[in-house]
């Protein structure tokens, strides 16, 4: 799908990866970008092509109202939340919130916008996922589970939506320099890099944007993940236990 001249909607568009995707869409010639956020006043842009929209992906009525816009050709499902928690201590309320946003949020927008995209020639969904869709992090146990579920839904939706000419792209990346992991002392990918990779894949007709070397290595290791990937995960967890950071 070519972006020039299209009308796009981005969820969670007021900061981080979402804001970077809005800017990249504009740079590639999008005719209009609906920037969705729970508080539309938090969307800051001086480009007249940006239209701030009140959008809460956890609310059925909010998503339905956004779909009533009617002219959307591309939906970028970026809105997401992450809460740390080891498997035996993860807060169930945090787990519910993450699944509500990271999984059911994508389900809602896909169901609401699929008819809109079909009516506008097919279009595309771009779903921002994570490397933890493929390899679970004990520190982010329920977040990892939500992203794995979102990846699975993305794959199944791709199969059905192909029949109406709708492209579906899953975006996988490790640590990104956003508020979500601001306190993590790790190498981070710039949000602009994620945006460029996602839209490069979209315009090339691809199905998965694998943004960084970490994600590429994990993807390659899935054929034998228990032996190729999880010994390293176990070693990292054991270090956390030894340091007193995990029980």
Catalytic residues: 143
Q: Dump the DSSP string for 86-111.
A: -TTT--HHHHHHHHHHHTHHHHHHHH
- Contacts of 157 by beta carbon, 8 Å cutoff, 6+ apart: 110, 125, 168
Ramachandran assignment for 213, one of left (phi > 0), alpha (psi -120 to 50 degrees), beta (any other): alpha
Q: Which residue has the tokens 């809109």?
A: 116
What's the CA gap between 115 and 159, in Å, rounded? 16
Q: How far is C-alpha 79 from the geometric centre of its chain's CA atoms? A: 6
């Amino acid at each position: 799908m070519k972006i020039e001249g299209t009308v796009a909607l981005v969820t969670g568009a007021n900061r981080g990866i979402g804001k970077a995707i809005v800017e990249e869409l504009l740079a590639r010639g999008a005719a209009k970008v609906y920037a969705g956020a729970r508080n539309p006043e938090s969307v800051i842009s001086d480009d007249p092509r940006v239209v701030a929209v009140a959008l809460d992906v956890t609310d059925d009525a909010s998503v339905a109202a956004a779909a009533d816009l009617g002219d959307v050709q591309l939906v970028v499902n970026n809105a997401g939340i992450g809460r740390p928690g080891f498997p035996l201590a993860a807060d169930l309320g945090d787990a519910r919130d993450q699944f509500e946003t990271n999984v059911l949020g994508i389900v809602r927008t896909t169901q609401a916008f699929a008819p809109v995209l079909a009516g506008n020639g097919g279009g595309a969904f771009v779903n921002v996922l994570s490397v933890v869709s493929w390899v679970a992090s004990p520190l982010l146990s329920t977040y990892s589970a939500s992203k794995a579920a979102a990846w699975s839904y993305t794959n199944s939706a791709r199969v059905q939506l192909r029949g109406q000419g709708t492209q579906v792209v899953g975006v996988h990346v490790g640590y990104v320099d956003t508020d979500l992991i601001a306190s993590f002392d790790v190498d981070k990918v710039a949000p602009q890099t994620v945006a460029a990779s996602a839209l490069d894949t979209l315009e090339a007709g691809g199905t998965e944007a694998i943004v960084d070397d970490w994600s590429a290595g994990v993807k390659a290791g899935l054929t034998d993940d228990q032996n190729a990937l999880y010994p390293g995960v176990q070693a990292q967890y054991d270090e956390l236990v030894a340091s007193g950071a995990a029980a």
